[in-house]
Amino acid sequence: MRQLTVHQLHPLPFDAAESINQLRVNLGFCGTDIKSIMLTSSTPDEGKSFVSMNLWHQMAGVGARTILVDCDLRNSEMRTRYGIGGQGKLYGIAHYLAGQVELEDVIYETNVAGGYLVPVTTNIANPSILLEGERFAALMKYCRGQFDYVLLDTPPLMNVADGMNIATHCDGSVLVVRSGVTSRRLVENSIHMLQKTSTPLLGTVLNRVDTSRRASQYYYKRNYTKYGYDGGSNP
């Protein structure tokens, strides 16, 4: 199996690490049949990739074979943000979905023990047809059989339809919400969109929480679960 190195996955502050750990534990309580989990948001810059990467790291850290599939084919920044690199030519999910390489060419072992990646190595303008094809379904079937958890980092729901297509292949979804920025209406619209796919909403992550601000109470009173880190810098 080919290898990638994640160079910029730095330790989190205690509160942030414990919040991600609580999310991991809660997802475990969802049942053994919940293996493939989509992480998404309503709009860009809500921190879904931050949550995806650190949840992946923690799941692998407790001994669960976990694969993170980067499905943000239009505008992925995960590879550059986390310094993901390897030797030789790197093939990503778009190469596989287009039939240019086989599945074993895009699943990478990493320097995180028990952590595997399917990266985006080149952004493409319109991946909808690829995501609706048989090869994506085959990828999901294979990963479910080989790994304890399959995490999928997807585009924002309000921007493009990709997340809706991906959700139909998943056992559940997690919606990341940026505290003090994402409106209640946007959150409700995103939840309604996920309901159309018949994919269970496993939880909502309230990210970049500033617990000193009264604004955060807007979400707590409506039964959103508080995860994320106090004040947060860039996710």
Q: Which of 121, 118, 153 is nearest to 135 (CA)?
A: 118
Cα 78 to chain centroid, rounded: 10
**Sequence spans of domains, the chain:** 34-220
Distance between CA atoms of residues 18 and 22, nearest Å: 6
| pLDDT (0 to 100) of residue 213 | 52
How confident is the chain (235 residues) per 10-residue block, as mean pLDDT? 93 91 95 96 94 97 98 91 92 96 97 97 90 95 97 93 94 94 92 93 86 46 36 33
* Predicted TM-score (pTM) of this structure: 0.88
Amino acid present at 92: G
| pLDDT (0 to 100) of residue 218 | 41
| pLDDT (0 to 100) of residue 125 | 86
CB-neighbour burial class of residue 212 (10 A; exposed 0-12, middle 13-18, buried 19+): exposed
Q: Which two tokens stand for residue 171?
A: 């056992």
| pLDDT (0 to 100) of residue 179 | 86
Cα 21 to chain centroid, rounded: 15
| pLDDT (0 to 100) of residue 34 | 96
- The CATH topology of domain 34-220 is Rossmann fold (3.40.50)
Contact in structure between 120 and 76 (CB atoms under 8 Å): yes
